[in-house]
Amino acid sequence: MPPVNLQLPPLLRATTFRLALSYLGIFTVSAVALLALVSWSTSVFIEWQVQETVEAEATGLSEQYRERGIRGLAEVIAGRAGQDLDRRAVYLLSGPGGVRIAGNLYGWPAESIDSAGWIRFSIERMGSETFGTEVLGRTYVLPDDHQLLVGRSLHEAKRVKLAINRALGWGLALTILLGIIGGYFTSRHLLQRVEAMNRTAKRIIGGDMKSRMHLTGARDEFDQLAAGFNEMMDEIERLVESIRTVTDNVAHDLRTPLNRLRSRIDVALLSDEDPASLRRTLEETLAEADEILATFNAILTISSAESGQRLHSFEPLDPARLAEDIAELYEPLAEEKGIALTCHTQGGASVDGDRHLLFQALANMVDNAVKYTPAGGRVAVSVTRQDGDVTIAVADSGPGIAADQRARVLERFVRLDATRSTPGNGLGLSLVNAVARLHGATLDMEDNAPGLILSLHFTAKA
């Protein structure tokens, strides 16, 4: 016979329900300890009241004894015993040899008396009535070998204590019951939210990348978790779409140069051209290969920046020195095109980053500016600092970029030159944007009337 696998329902196996039971257990132990303390305190207080009552009666009888003697005391005790209809008072006056003189007890109790004269004993009969009760009494030694015992029945005190304990017990039981019910419904509510998240995750695993966690608007931990999950899925979806787009664009943009490369090689193999022509063909082929390699290198750099793999190589950098190096690098090219390239920097600025990636991003910014600025134009590189924030900007006097196209040019392989007659692979600004995101900077584009101002803004760390 196969073993029976008994499992609790999912709700009872939920962490929230077990956590609720754990807290309820701790609360129950604490409540029991508190109730025990209350019960003990109540018992002590009741006995103290009984002792006060006994001592008050004993004081009154002592005054009667001083005024009227043993005979008068016996008459008072007999009168009081007769008036005690509820049988709560206990009296016994005995003479020499323990002979009973007055009172509603027939004999002296056998229990021992403590050092303060108090005695606790049980009686089965008082006067003509038969019943069992516990008595707390005080004994006094009178002259001529007389003894007096004054006591009070603890029957009513025990009834009060029992009633209090019963009320406390019912309160504790009701509290435990309400705690279990509250834990059940709380766990059920939380489990429903977890199951909803689990269903969404399974839909995403099944290929529905558009599914998102539902936000209840409560702004609690689950909403924060759902919001973070949704942001993560938005980023994943963007990256997946980016990969798909890159794959399509790589196939499209590399097909033409690879075809040209193959055609040149075929022509060179089939022709009987002189060595100079073959050399020129090889140089053109090498240039095409360099463009292909540059495209792949740009893609790898963008992927490296977007993956965050270079975060470990961050170090404090001087953006002014970086900008000056870039300006010096592109100054010959700018002069060749008849463009005025200037660099203005403020010293004392510092940013944390990867030197290689920031150098390449700034080089792309200046390269674009020089490439699209006509002869006689100007390109200005600047580094400014304000309240710890650092801005690296490149301003040109070229055609600029229309406002509705600025978000699009940050995508990979996007080129606004429909004829693609200008050298480039459409990855320059994509790389700049990826590097900016890696460094927590913002990439802004503004009109320069004419031209464009492209700037990287680094916010000071709090």
More confident: 124 or 121: 121
The pTM for the full model equals 0.48
**Residue 227 in this model has a pLDDT that exceeds 80:** yes
- Split at pLDDT 50, 70, 90, the class of 87 is low
For the cut 60, the answer to whether the pLDDT of residue 42 exceeds it is: yes
Q: Do the beta carbons of residue 226 and residue 197 sit within 8 Å?
A: yes
> pLDDT band at 456, cuts 50/70/90?
very high
* Average pLDDT of the chain, as a whole number: 81
Helix or strand (DSSP H, E) at 227: helix 221-270
Q: Is 179 exposed, middle or buried (0-12, 13-18, 19+ CB in 10 A)?
A: middle
Q: How confident is the model at residue 162 (pLDDT cuts 50, 70, 90)?
A: confident
The answer to whether 389 and 458 are in contact (CB under 8 A) is: yes
| DSSP class per residue in 360-410 | HHHHHHHHHHHHHSPTT-EEEEEEEEETTEEEEEEEE-S----GGGTTGGG
Q: CA-CA distance, 287 to 258, in Å (whole number)?
A: 12
Per DSSP, the chain holds a count of helices (H) and strands (E) of: 7, 12
Write the CA distances from 300 to 83, 246, 295, 409, integer angstroms: 108, 11, 9, 19
Q: pLDDT (tens digit, 9 = 90+) per residue, 320-365?
A: 999 999 999 999 999 999 999 999 998 888 899 889 889 989 999 9
Residue 105 has pLDDT above 50, yes or no: yes
pLDDT at 443: 92
Say whether pLDDT at 295 is over 60.
Answer: yes
380-to-160, 330, 384 alpha-carbon distances in Å = 95, 12, 13
Q: Mean pLDDT throughout 233-255?
A: 73
**Per-residue model confidence as pLDDT tens digits over 422-447:** 566 677 788 899 889 888 899 999 99
Q: Which two tokens mark 220?
A: 């609690």
Determine the pLDDT at residue 147: 87
**Which stretch of 5-9, 248-252, 349-353, 450-454 has the lowest confidence by average pLDDT?**
5-9
* Mean pLDDT along residues 147-153: 87
pLDDT at 190 over 50: yes
CA 332 to chain centre: 56
Per-residue model confidence (pLDDT) at position 419: 42
**Which residue would you say has higher pLDDT here, 107 or 325?**
325
Judge whether residue 144 has pLDDT over 90.
no
pLDDT at 397: 92
pLDDT of residue 335: 93
Confidence of residue 8 (pLDDT cuts 50, 70, 90): low
**Domains (range + CATH), the chain:** 16-161 (3.30.450), 212-307 (1.10.287.130), 313-458 (3.30.565.10)
Tell me which of 3 and 203 has the higher pLDDT. Answer: 203
Summarised one tens digit per residue, pLDDT across range 254-283 is 677 777 777 777 777 777 667 777 777 777
Q: Which residue has the higher pLDDT, 252 or 179?
A: 179
* Single-letter amino acid, residue 88: R
Q: Is 94 helix (H, G, I), strand (E, B) or coil?
A: strand
Proportion of the chain above pLDDT 70, given as a percent? 86
Highest mean pLDDT among 85-94, 173-182, 226-235, 299-308: 226-235
